[in-house]
């Protein structure tokens, strides 16, 4: 089983002008593969979710379904803003058990939402690896039926 060793951000702007559309950052993810991953050349999808966290981070809930996995955040003490997400296909090669993946992502950090008062952005990244050999889950589309009295 692969293990995410660390997730860090590079090239974070020191200041953000209100109204700026694009801020380029780089997410650096360090992944360590187990020797079984490498011998089987396991395939994974790395999901990265960038949040502006207001208070405690939302509790992440993943419904794993390979390339159709879904992410939900249960709110604790405020609503966090999802600023961006990326999905990267990874193959555990037999050459290197320790992999560093740099993922560029363009965020609209200068766009402010609703009536919130912003003075800073507290960026955090949630990373998760979904293996090709895993459970698969999916919600149905919602449907309604009438109740007759």
Token couple for 92: 């555990």
Report how far Cα 76 is from the mean position of its chain's Cα atoms.
Answer: 18
The per-residue pLDDT for range 85-108, each reduced to its tens digit, is 899 999 987 666 778 999 998 887
The per-residue pLDDT for range 29-41, each reduced to its tens digit, is 999 999 888 899 9
- In 10 A of CB 83, how many CB atoms? 20
- Model pTM above 0.85: no
Domains and CATH numbers, the chain: 3-131 (2.60.40)
> Which single residue is written with the structure tokens 């955040």?
73
Token couple for 103: 């993922």
The per-residue pLDDT for range 102-134, each reduced to its tens digit, is 999 888 766 666 555 556 777 889 999 999 888
What is the spatial distance between Cα 50 and Cα 107, in angstroms, rounded to a whole number? 9
């Amino acid at each position: 089983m692969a293990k995410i060793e660390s997730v860090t951000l590079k090239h974070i702007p020191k200041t953000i002008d209100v109204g700026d559309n694009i801020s380029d950052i780089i997410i650096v993810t360090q992944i360590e593969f187990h020797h079984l991953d490498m011998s089987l050349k396991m395939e994974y999808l790395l999901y990265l979710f960038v949040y502006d966290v207001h208070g405690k981070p939302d509790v992440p809930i993943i419904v794993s379904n390979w390339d159709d996995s879904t992410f939900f955040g249960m709110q604790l003490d405020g609503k966090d803003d999802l600023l961006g997400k990326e999905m990267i296909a990874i193959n555990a090669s037999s050459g290197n058990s320790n992999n560093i993946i740099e993922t560029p992502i363009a965020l609209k950090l200068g766009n402010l939402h609703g009536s919130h008062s912003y003075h800073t952005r507290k960026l955090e990244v949630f990373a998760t690896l979904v293996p090709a050999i895993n459970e698969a889950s999916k919600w149905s589309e919602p449907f309604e039926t009438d109740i007759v009295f």
